[in-house]
Amino acid sequence: SFSADAVPQAPEDPLFGLMAAYRADNFDKKVDLGIGAYRDNDAKPWILPVVKKAEEILRKDPALNHEYLPIAGLATFTSAAAKLILGADSPAIAEKRTCSVQTISGTGAVHLGALFLAKFYPGQPKVYFSSPTWANHNQIFSNVSIPIATYPYFSKSTKGLDFAGMKKAISDAPDHSIILLHACAHNPTGVDPTREQWKELAVLLKQKSHFPFFDCAYQGFASGDLAKDAWAVRYFVEQGFELCIAQSFAKNFGLYGERAGCFHFVTGAGTDAQKTIGRIASQLAILQRSEISNPPAYGARIAGLILNDETLFKEWEEDLRTMAGRIITMRKALKAKLEEMGTPGTWNHITDQIGMFSFTGLSEKQVLELRNVAHVYMAKNGRISMAGLNTHNIDYFAKAVDKVVR
Ligand code: PLP
C-alpha cells in the first residue's frame, strides 16, 4: 500500500538552488552567473522594447478575452513559429508536411516530443544526448521511460567539439536511435558543429536511419541572426529527414515566465505525407489534451504579434542583436582581461564559444572556491552565463578567476 512516509527526499535542482543561495548572499559585489537568463549591463532582467510595444497593442485590443486557446494553441503563433525555424520558403511547409503544437515553452516541447516518441516510435529505441547536455533532457526522457545514452561532445583538451568521438558514438548506436541535437548555441558548452560537420552528421544519421530530435532554445542568440542559427535544422529538412523540433521563445523574446514554445513534427516528402502529418497532429492533440488541455495565451499572443508584423519583427531582430552583441562584447573583454593578467591556461575558448554560455574549464573545486571566497555563483561544471557579466563586474570576476587558477 502507499505510504506517504516512504517518499524519499529528492535532490534540489542545482541551478535553482544556486539562484536561492545567490539571493540570500548580502555581499555587495556578488556575481550571478548561474541561470541562463539575459541580463542588461546593470545585471537587471531586460524586457525587450519590442515586447513592451506588443504588450501595449494587446492591452488596447477590445477583441481579446480569457477564453481557452484551441488544444494545439494559437494558430497564428504556431504557423509563424514554424516559418521562423524552417524558413518561410520551406518546401516542408509548402507541401503541408509539418504540424505544430504550442507547448509550455521549450521544456514542454521536449516533453511532448518525448511522450509522442515513447508511444509511437517502434522498437524501444534509446535517445542519445551530447555529453554534457542540458540536465533536464535526462529527466524528461526518463519520465517517459525512453532509455538514455550519450555521445561525446566536449573535448576537455581543446575546449571545443570532440567531433571524432561524437561521430563514433552515433555510428556505434543501434540503427533507428533517437539523436538529440542542439540546433544552435549548445547548452552548456557554447560549442556548435561547423556547417561542414553538420553535413557529415546528416550523412551519418541517414546511413544509420537515426531520428533527429532538434532542441532549439537559442535561435538568434548564437549569431544574432535568426536564419543563420536555424541553418542546421533547415539543412536536415532539405536532406529529407523525418524529424522533430522543440522550440523555445523564453530566451529570444525574454518571455521566460510566460512559457511560450512550440513542438514541430516534419515528415519526409511523399504522396501520403499530408495524410501522415494529419494523423500525427491528431495524436499530438490527444496527448496535449491529457497533459495540459490548452496552452497559455499571453506569451503566444506577444510572440505571435511580433512574428506576424513586419515592422515589429525588424525591431525584434534589433533587440536580438543588442542581446547577442552585449554578450559577445563581454566574451572579448573577459578573454582580454585574463590574458592581460597572464592567468595560467589558454582563454581563446571564451570567444570561440557562442550563445548564452561559456564552458570555462574551471574545475568543481575552483568553482566552489569562487563561490566561498569571491561570492561568484556559477554551475559546478564550470559553465557561466555570459549574460551575468557586465562592465561593472567583469574586472572583479576576472581577478577572482585569476586568483583561483593560480
Ligand atoms: N533546451 C535547452 C537546451 C535549454 O537550454 C533550455 C533552457 O534553458 C530549454 C530547452 C527550455 O527552456 P524553457 O522551458 O524555459 O523554454
Instruction: Given the residues 32, 215, 229, 319, select the one marked as catalytic.
Output: 215
For ligand 1, is residue 105 a contact (CB within 6 Å)?
A: yes
Round to whole Å and give the CA distance between 320 and 325.
8
Which of 15, 38, 127, 134 most suits a substitution to test ligand 1, by most atoms within 8 Å of the C-beta?
134
For ligand 1, is residue 385 a contact (CB within 6 Å)?
A: no
Q: What is the pLDDT of residue 17?
A: 87
What confidence category does residue 13 fall into, taking pLDDT thresholds of 50, 70 and 90? confident
Nearest protein CA to atom 1 of ligand 1, as residue: 217
Task: Express as a percent the part of the chain with pLDDT over 90.
Answer: 94
Q: What is the pLDDT of residue 270?
A: 85
Rounded average pLDDT over 210-238: 96
The yes-or-no answer on residue 215 being catalytic is: yes
The yes-or-no answer on residue 42 being catalytic is: no
**Residue at 206: amino acid letter:** K
Rounded average pLDDT over 330-338: 97
Give distance in angstroms: CA of 134 to centre of ligand 1: 8
**Predicted ipTM of the assembly:** 0.99
Rounded average pLDDT over 219-226: 92
For ligand 1, is residue 250 a contact (CB within 6 Å)?
A: yes
Round to whole Å and give the CA distance between 192 and 186.
6
Instruction: Give residue-wise pLDDT tens across range 24-53.
Output: 999 999 999 998 899 999 999 999 999 999
Which of 38, 213, 248 most suits a substitution to test ligand 1, by most atoms within 8 Å of the C-beta?
248
CB contact at 8 A, 261 and 247:
yes
Residue 53 Cα to chain centre, angstroms: 25
Give distance in angstroms: CA of 342 to centre of ligand 1: 35
The yes-or-no answer on residue 134 being catalytic is: yes
* Length of the chain, in residues: 406
Q: What is the pLDDT of residue 163?
A: 98
Nearest protein CA to atom 13 of ligand 1, as residue: 106
For ligand 1, is residue 133 a contact (CB within 6 Å)?
A: no
Q: What is the pLDDT of residue 191?
A: 95
How many helices and strands in the chain, by DSSP H and E? Answer: 16, 11
User: Can you give the pTM of this predicted structure?
Assistant: 0.96
